[in-house]
Amino acid sequence: MIKAALFAIGVLFTSLTFAQQQPKVLASVHPLALVAASVVATDDLHTLVPGHLSPHDFALRPSDIDRLQQADVIIWSGPQAEPYLRGFVARWPDKIWLNAADYAPEGASDDPHWWLSPTTMRALQAQLAQHLERSPEPFQQQLQQALEDSKALLAPVRERGFYVFHRAYDHWVEALQLNQLGSLTLSPEHKPGLRTLSKIRSQLQQGKAHCVFSEPQYDPALIDSLTQGLNINRAELDPMAAAIVPTADAYPNYLRQLAQAAAECLGPLQP
């Protein structure tokens, strides 16, 4: 009887301990971790692709597969952005897979960088909060305020044209109604052709673009050659948010950082 009672107590204790354990959340890329940090404690949140790397160049290592296997909830951007994760969705269907693309508005751009869509991140965060039984409200309010602040900051310069390094900002540009003229390349793996470079150089010479943005993950040599001898502003936008530490308000702060960088570059021409 005593042994049976002790066994029952042990089972109950184990069950309670397991119930108190928080789900392990894995974000495929650093910006998605910023969103998840609004409702996930730091110790329970991990990132697959570090902020200083790009998912365009990423290849899974055995240790990465181990992290995927250990996660309870995995947030990713879908097979178009991260094809190396497609097979694992079918392999581990018992995990909660939150595909950011599933929360995008209908008729949206096909740009797969969904973490730069505030509307998509609002819906994704609400779903994550629901799974974790947390309130989404603080994040939702902070996000709305960050958008309003960004729009106010960029209002005086939003009609000024600019080029980005690669096509990653469509959703952000649309949300803030900015005048993006184009990108130097559709994807960093594919270098632009001579015809494309010639067209961009011509537009820069005509003064149609006020600014050209580079990215910290890639060599700025291409932008150096395109802007050589031209009076045009340059700045850096980081689509991977590498410098932002995952905290409860990290993603709204990231949006503010992008807006600040854009406002400065679209401001008065530097001497």
Indicate whether 161 and 253 sit together in one domain.
Answer: yes
The per-residue pLDDT for range 26-44, each reduced to its tens digit, is 999 999 999 999 999 999 9
Q: Is the dihedral of CA 75, 80, 83, 89 positive or negative?
A: positive
Judging by DSSP bridges, how do beta strands 161-166 and 179-185 pair with one another? parallel
Confidence of residue 162 (pLDDT cuts 50, 70, 90): very high
123 vs 189: which has the higher pLDDT: 123
Indicate whether 127 and 191 sit together in one domain.
Answer: no
Indicate whether 194 and 230 sit together in one domain.
Answer: yes
Low-confidence winner among 146-155, 180-189, 230-239 (lowest mean pLDDT): 180-189
The per-residue pLDDT for range 38-86, each reduced to its tens digit, is 999 999 999 999 888 778 778 899 999 999 999 999 999 999 889 999 9
- Domain-located, residue 13: no
Three-state secondary-structure class, residue 142: helix
Three-state secondary-structure class, residue 164: strand
Residue 10 has pLDDT above 60, yes or no: no
pLDDT attached to residue 25: 98
Residue 13 has pLDDT above 80, yes or no: no
The per-residue pLDDT for range 197-255, each reduced to its tens digit, is 898 999 999 999 999 999 998 888 889 999 999 999 999 999 999 999 999 999 999 99
Indicate whether 151 and 252 sit together in one domain.
Answer: yes
CA-CA distance, 124 to 79, in Å (whole number)? 16
Residue 6 has pLDDT above 80, yes or no: no
Residue 155 has pLDDT above 70, yes or no: yes
Cα distances (Å, whole numbers) of residue 121 to 1, 104, 150, 181, 260 = 55, 8, 16, 25, 20
Indicate whether 179 and 246 sit together in one domain.
Answer: yes
Measuring CA to CA, which residue among 237, 249, 236, 235 is closest to residue 146? Answer: 249
Confidence of residue 20 (pLDDT cuts 50, 70, 90): low
In the chain, how many domains are there? Answer: 2
Average pLDDT for 97-111: 93
Choosing from 134, 168, 203, the residue where a domain stops is 134
Instruction: Specify the long-range contacts of residues 82-88, CB closer than 8 Å, at least 24 apart.
Output: 82/28, 82/29, 82/55, 82/58, 84/58, 84/59, 84/60, 85/28
What CATH number did the domain enclosing 90 receive?
A: 3.40.50.1980
Indicate whether 149 and 253 sit together in one domain.
Answer: yes
- Domain-located, residue 177: yes
Structural domain span for residue 50: 25-134
Indicate whether 148 and 243 sit together in one domain.
Answer: yes
Q: State the chain's mean pLDDT as an integer.
A: 90
pLDDT attached to residue 17: 41
